[in-house]
Amino acid sequence: MKNKLILASASPRRVALLKQLNIEPDDIIPADIDETPMKGELPRDLALRLAIGKARKIAHKNPQSYILAADTVVGAGRRILDKAEDELFARKCLNTLSGRRHRVYGGIAIITPEGKEITRLVETLVQFKRLTKNEIDTYIASKEWQGKAGGYAIQGLAESYIKYIKGSYSNVVGLSLYDTMNMLNGAGYLK
């Protein structure tokens, strides 16, 4: 019998992305961990630390399963742009990203039934065009920013603001399909 795959995330985007790979988790168990960045922690380090932390928390109570966890962090230089929970913060994020490049870091962690940890950090470079006040107002009114790292969701209206992208598009959505597929293969889940 094949071991279960548990997705340690409540993100509907990650579930939808996995469906694109014809992978349906046997269970979805969100890992409730403290996501506060440590003092001086860089965006890339935070993304990987959170993915590993989520995977370990769920693996602890599900030792016979494959655990897949991920986290997405938007970084503007050394600054971490958190999830936008209100309009003011979303507007601040969009103003910060307007006309400049930023990086989206995707931490991915898989723990096998044998307890082996496989981790990867995926980096995507994204450049927004210079946004007008009207474009920012329109985006804020769309509500697509709610709960999104960096205050935007690439798979909606914000895609029309992106001038340049280098790297995995699905990483910006929430989970790099290329890396996840390779990691699950390497972990023995897809065999």
How far, in Å, CA of 98 to CA of 92, rounded?
Answer: 10
Structure tokens at 142: 């769309």
Could you please report the per-residue DSSP string of 92-125?
HHHHHHTTSEEEEEEEEEEE-TT--EEEEEEEEE
Q: What is the DSSP letter of 168?
A: -
How far, in Å, CA of 191 to CA of 186, rounded?
Answer: 9
Dihedral pair phi/psi, residue 77, rounded to 5°: 70, -130
Structure tokens at 126: 């994204």
Considering the candidates 26, 71, 82, 179, report the single residue annotated as catalytic: 71
Helices 87-97 and 133-142: crossing angle in degrees, nearest 10, is 140
Whether residue 82 lies in the annotated active site: no
- CB–CB of 33/55 below 8 Å? no
State the catalytic residues: 71
